[in-house]
Structure 1
Amino acid sequence: MQKKTVFVLGAGVSMQYGFPSGAELVDNICEELAKSEYEYKLHEGKWVKSHWRSDDDIELEMNCLIDALLVLCFDYQEIQRFRERIYYSDTNSIDSFLRNNKHFKDLGKTAISHILIKAEQEVDLFLRQKFQNKEHSSYVGPSVYKYIWSQMQGYLGGAKSVKYFMESQCPLFVTFNYDRSLEQYFSKVIMNYCNNKSGVDTLIASRIRHVHGCLGLHTADVVGPSGVWPYNDHIEVSRLQSACNGIRIIGDKNEDETFVDNLRSEMLQAERIIFLGFAYHPDNLRTLFGKGVTKAQIFGTTYGMTQQEVYGVKRMFEEYVTHVNSQICIEPDHNEMTAYEYLREVVSFGVSQQEAAV
């Protein structure tokens, strides 16, 4: 790349690939906790299945959220209290709910993991365009990953090796999403484009930072070694436990302070930072920059935001940049652009419109 580029990805990007938004995740959890393959009754102080299906097996139980939680020994009444509390909190963010209801944290993280694992569908990564009509409520537009990959190919073709490209020219991806769609997509396309599987998983992982953790270690292969999970929707006890242990909610104490320090250093070294599908939560910006001040050009999507909301975002950036007016390209007149459209119209991998005007 011509400049040291960092992409910061929010839920708006993962939605393209079949994952729920924050509000949809809350709705999905509430809906899943309201249904079960079984009925339950109180027996000697414990909630147990009132009847058994003839085809009863552990795999069937794990596919249903409430049954999976019971397999993992969560209390049935506690599960129902959790569902009621989150439903009537009327929140769009389960992370913020769990921050204020820490006693539900393990249950909530397991529920998050279950919903997101079931959304790991490789076919969604390679759909050219899910809906053609932009007015469709589920319109997601052309693939952001595909566009970034199309720009990377020219640099990759001229590089001495895949390893050299990944270490010296590939952009850095900082994601606040738990899912592993980034790893799967870029591992898959580079393996096939370069006809080279050797170490690609590891090289891709070296360019991705999951700020709040992710759903376990990743492999692009169909079967991975113990503790490393392929990208699919298969749920089993050990995988669900691994995913739950791999994610952190907002407000969790980050035990790896070195990770945060290194991340902030990488952010401050960047020459261009591009926020895509991001909600600009103040806590997340503090995680990225700390007390540092960056000289990088700041770009960011504002899809669906009002003019006042955009100006509020720009004010938040004032403490992290040296020159607000010249460094920040986050504008209200971009609020109808999808992430893909924003990249094409405003940024590009060569020279951005704003940079060209300087």
Structure 2
Amino acid sequence: GTVGAAGGVAVEASAGVKGGGAGGGDRGARDLDQNERRRFLKGLGLAAGLALVGGVAGRLLTARQAVKQARNEVVLPRPRQPVPVVPAGAQVPGVTPYVSANDDFYRIDTALYPPQVDPSTWQLRIHGMVRNPITLTWEQLLQRPMIERYVTLACVSNEVGGDLIGNALWLGTPIKELLDEAGPLPGADQVVQRSVDGWTCGTPTAVLRDGRDALLAVGMNGEPLPVDHGFPVRMVVPGLYGYVSACKWITEIELSRFADFDAYWVPRGWSAQGPIKTESRIDTPRDGAKRSAGTVVVGGVAWAQHTGITKVEVQVDDGPWAEATLAATVSVDTWRQWSYQWEATPGDHRLRVRATDRTGQTQTSTPAPPAPDGATGWHAVQVSIG
């Protein structure tokens, strides 16, 4: 329709000019003819652009429907080890859920639209500095031994007190076993993960082989991975920020060296290696909350994935630090909730929190932005007591 209209305008204008006089009219006709030609070509380009957008949108919709159907048909394998039981008391009232629902789990990636990957055509290549290159199909992956683990993931761009962190039950095959089969060559200190859309992250090879539950994951909270979170396959690595470990829609693993290759975020100013820092957050009361004088429950979460939290302390105004009560937890690979009974007095007060991990290291009070390797500082909230 757009092309037809543009063509009609061009033809009508040309006919009108040609019906005029000679001399200067001929020059005007040429000028107008060129202008109308530009309009015609512009209209043609607009039409082509709209057709292209429409075609892309149509293909994307078709792909989404196909992948949605494929995901609905996935039957996840049973894990070879029983699912860890969340202990009683892991959840503190008023604190964010210990297990994050799939729909509520944070999403940070560079994909404008989540890639639509048909598992029937999916493959994983493990190559590079290895003795035995491996190519896995979806069916072959599902036949491998699977385990389920609760693992808390965090984004390096999370501000102090932020919510770019979540805990889920992941089903997957240990990546260590695959790497052992591939046989990394000496010097291959980096595992480059590559998404179907070309995004890369680099993980220390030693971390993926040190015995932690690093998974090539296919399930999240008892169902196939949501498309937004990497369906059909992604990586999950306890103790590292996602930008160096949590490749979604993964299709390639290349053994390399940090000296030879910089993954996506490294040239953009972020550190090549991103171990998670010990952090804590106050969830209740919220900043700016009002409470009545008397006992006020202060609660939140603390995390030091793959290291574990041993102590959380709360400070009211500039008073002494008081130790909070730690809730139960599944393992050192998840966050840990805590609570503190505060006898609140009238007035405006500042609450701060800090955590100590199993190495004895207490999180630093020095504020630092997320770049280049994670934010630091103590989370604080202001509360009014009436």
**TM-score normalised to the size of structure 1?**
0.23
**TM-score normalised to the size of structure 2?**
0.22
Bigger radius of gyration: 2
Higher share of residues assigned helix:
1
Higher share of residues assigned strand:
2
